[in-house]
Structures are given as structure tokens and as C-alpha cells.
Amino acid sequence: MSTGHDDLEAWKRQRTVELAFELADSGRYENFADVAYALQFERGMATARALIDDPEMRRLLNERCGDAREKSAPPPEPEVFEAQPVAEDRGNRC
């Protein structure tokens, strides 16, 4: 039998995971630890780390952080090659 307490805990975990994904997808955080810190100390969610601290969640958050940072990174500068003078062909031409 489900209790109100169980429902509240499930909602807290779901909300924490949603916020963790939003933070990871923002591109502002390097990895799981940064996201967990932000949830705890910037968002005031004291139990956030305990709710999302498992190996699969760490992997997902690290992956999402990396993907988001990659997408938000400026494109690499194109390589510029200096033009080299072309040697003239002084052979006989027909």
C-alpha cells in the first residue's frame, strides 16, 4: 500500500533528476559533481546528491554535461595557410 510519504519521496527524486538533467544540459557544468553541488548549494536541495548518486546516474550526467559543453563550445578557428609562390616552369612549350 502506497503512503503519502512514499509518493512525496518519489516526487522529490523525480524532480531532482529532472533538475539535474536540466543543469547538465545547460553546458555550464563539467560533470556529476558540479551538478550535485549546484543542486545542493545553489538550489538549496540538501538531499539532492543522495537522490541522484548512483553509477548509472553519474554516467548519464557526465555524458550529458560533456555533450552540452561540446555543443556550446565555439567552433574551432579555421586553419590559415600562407600562399607559397609558385615556381615558374621555364621548359619549352609547344
pLDDT in tens, 10-64: 999 999 999 999 999 999 999 999 999 999 998 899 999 999 999 999 999 999 9
Structurally, the chain folds into a number of domains equal to 1
Per-residue model confidence (pLDDT) at position 76 = 73
In-domain check, residue 91: no
Measured CA to CA, the distance from residue 94 to residue 91 in angstroms comes to: 10
In-domain check, residue 26: yes
Does residue 94 have a pLDDT over 70?
A: no
In-domain check, residue 85: no
- 77 versus 69: which is more confidently predicted? 69
pTM of the complete model = 0.71
Measured CA to CA, the distance from residue 57 to residue 44 in angstroms comes to: 20
Q: Find the domain containing 50 and state its range.
A: 4-72
Does residue 85 have a pLDDT over 90?
A: no
In-domain check, residue 46: yes
Per-residue model confidence (pLDDT) at position 58 = 96
> Cα torsion for 31, 36, 42, 45, to the nearest 10°?
160
